[in-house]
Amino acid sequence: MGRSAIHRAPTNKMDLTFLLRGLAIGFSIAAPVGPIGVLCIRRTLADGRAAGLVSGLGAASADACYGFIAAFGLTFISNILIDQRIALRLIGGAFLVYLGIKTLLAKPAEQAQTAVTEGSHLVAAYASTFFLTVTNPMTIISFAAIFAGLGIANANGNYRTAATLVAGVFLGSALWWLVLSGGVAWLRSRVNSFALQWVNRFSGVIITAFGLVALLSIAA
């Protein structure tokens, strides 16, 4: 029993180390404000904290998927994604433009009539941000580069370590979206319909701009 405890302690310590590394990676990749961040902020203001948090969890799930590919050394999948980066960028960019225009034209009065506590609305919020994140080929490149830079690419062939790392990535990314949606939700009561109309316009322009940049980068 004593010997088992001796062997278990280093393993548990290593698991905790990889979990914390994953947390830091997931948080740092999610934190920069891009189109997903703008969407999360706008949905929290318009529809409530649940909509913003679920939108963020969609992105966190996609981050975990890419973290899984990088941690387990699934290079054949990452190569396919990188080879298809133009098609993915085209799809993701077009979807961003669609979401941007839809947001720009949205009216607060219409949003108030549609309660986002409905399951279908939350599922759509989750699916849209998952799709947008997973169609960004730079995400897998970022994870591969960070893992290699930290010397944890392929997690040394240890599946348990790789799984712990991926769990950390998801939790770190989810933590950021929890903090962001919680902070924005605190401000929600101070936003009236007039201000929300301008939030829609501003968010719509920003999201559309991100989509156009993605589309224009294809020709560059």
What residue ranges do the domains of the chain occupy? 2-219
Q: Crossing angle of helices 159-188/49-71, nearest 10°?
A: 160
Instruction: Round to whole Å and give the CA distance between 38 and 35.
Output: 5
Instruction: Round to whole Å and give the CA distance between 173 and 64.
Output: 8
Q: State the DSSP code for 114.
A: S
- From 99, 29, 100, select the one nearest 62 (Cα to Cα): 29
pLDDT tens across the length of the chain (220 residues): 444 444 444 566 667 888 888 898 889 888 877 888 898 998 898 888 899 999 999 999 998 888 888 777 655 666 666 677 788 788 888 888 888 898 888 776 444 444 445 667 889 999 999 998 888 767 767 776 776 665 555 555 567 777 888 888 899 999 999 999 998 988 887 777 777 778 888 888 988 898 888 888 877 6
Instruction: Round to whole Å and give the CA distance between 93 and 137.
Output: 12
Length of the chain: 220
Answer yes or no: pTM beyond 0.85: no
- Which pLDDT value is given to residue 176? 93
Burial per residue of 59-91, b for 16 or more beta-carbon CB atoms within 10 angstroms, e otherwise: bbbbbbbbbbbbbbbeeebbeebeeebeebbee
How many other C-beta atoms lie within 10 A of the C-beta of residue 216?
Answer: 10
Instruction: Round to whole Å and give the CA distance between 75 and 60.
Output: 21
The DSSP-derived string for 26-47 is: HHHHH-S-SHHHHHHHHHHHHH
Radius of gyration of the chain (CA): 19
